[in-house]
């Protein structure tokens, strides 16, 4: 029902989403719910990135262009939006790659020891 009522009200949707993201950010920053500290920091980074993206989206959705100069400004805002999303994705992939890269030697040792134990069982 709420989705149907807010379908045409982009600004209300964006503000509600920003309030929800800000609430989640405050919760994670204050209570630190994850056992691993880096997970809390990573969640804070992603929430802040999401808020930045929502800010750019608000500019694009709420303020329709009237003349050519405003179209140029909104185009720049659109590119900043794309850069913000791409930066967040790139940093997340980099973090995952580094985290898995650090675990790779341990995983290889476990795999090789499991292969050796199978070899001796035969």
Q: Is the pTM above the cut of 0.85?
A: no
Could you read off the pLDDT of 90-115 as tens digits, one per residue? 999 999 999 988 888 888 888 888 77
> According to the model, what pLDDT value does residue 83 have?
97
On whether the CB atoms of residues 95 and 42 are closer than 8 A, the answer is yes
Reply yes or no on whether the pLDDT at 82 is more than 80: yes
**C-alpha angle 1-14-19 in degrees, rounded to nearest 5:** 95
Could you read off the pLDDT of 14-65 as tens digits, one per residue? 888 999 999 999 999 999 999 999 999 999 999 999 999 999 998 888 877 7
Structure token pair of residue 48: 């802040």
Domain boundary assignment for the chain: 2-121
């Amino acid at each position: 029902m709420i989705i149907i009522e807010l379908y045409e009200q982009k600004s209300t949707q964006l503000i509600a989403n920003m309030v929800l993201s800000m609430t989640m950010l405050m919760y994670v920053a204050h209570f630190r719910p994850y056992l691993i500290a880096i997970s809390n920091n990573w969640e804070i980074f992603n929430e802040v990135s999401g808020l930045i993206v929502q800010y750019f989206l608000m500019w694009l959705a709420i303020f329709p262009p009237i003349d050519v100069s405003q179209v140029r400004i909104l185009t720049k805002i659109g590119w900043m939006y794309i850069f913000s999303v791409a930066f967040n994705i790139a940093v997340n992939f980099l973090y995952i790659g580094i985290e898995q890269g650090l675990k790779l030697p341990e995983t290889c040792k476990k795999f090789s020891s499991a292969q050796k134990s199978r070899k001796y069982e035969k």
